[in-house]
Amino acid sequence: AQKITQTQPGMFVQEKEAVTLDCTYDTSDPSYGLFWYKQPSSGEMIFLIYQGSYDQQNATEGRYSLNFQKARKSANLVISASQLGDSAMYFCAMRESLDRGSTLGRLYFGRGTQLTVWP
Partner 1 sequence: KAGVTQTPRYLIKTRGQQVTLSCSPISGHRSVSWYQQTPGQGLQFLFEYFSETQRNKGNFPGRFSGRQFSNSRSEMNVSTLELGDSALYLCASSLTGVEETQYFGPGTRLLVL
Chain contacts with partner 1 (rule: CB under 8 A):
31-33, 35, 37, 42-47, 50, 52, 91, 95-98, 103-109, 111-112
Q: Which CB, 56 or 119, lies closer to partner 1?
A: 56
Q: How far is the CB of 53 from partner 1 (least distance, A)?
A: 8
Let me know the angle formed at the C-alpha of 76 by 95 and 80, rounded to the nearest 5 degrees: 125
> CB-wise, 4 or 13, nearer to partner 1?
4
**CB of 109 vs partner 1, minimal distance in Å:** 4
Q: Which of 76, 79, 64 is nearest to 115 (CA)?
A: 79
Residue 38's nearest CA partner among 83, 100, 70, 103 is: 83
**What is the closest distance, in whole angstroms, from the C-beta atom of residue 91 to partner 1 in the complex?**
7
Q: What is the CA radius of gyration of the chain?
A: 14
Q: How far is the CB of 102 from partner 1 (least distance, A)?
A: 8
- By beta-carbon proximity to partner 1, the closer residue of 81 and 98 is 98
State the burial class of residue 34 (Cβ atoms within 10 Å of its Cβ: 0-12, 13-18, 19+): buried
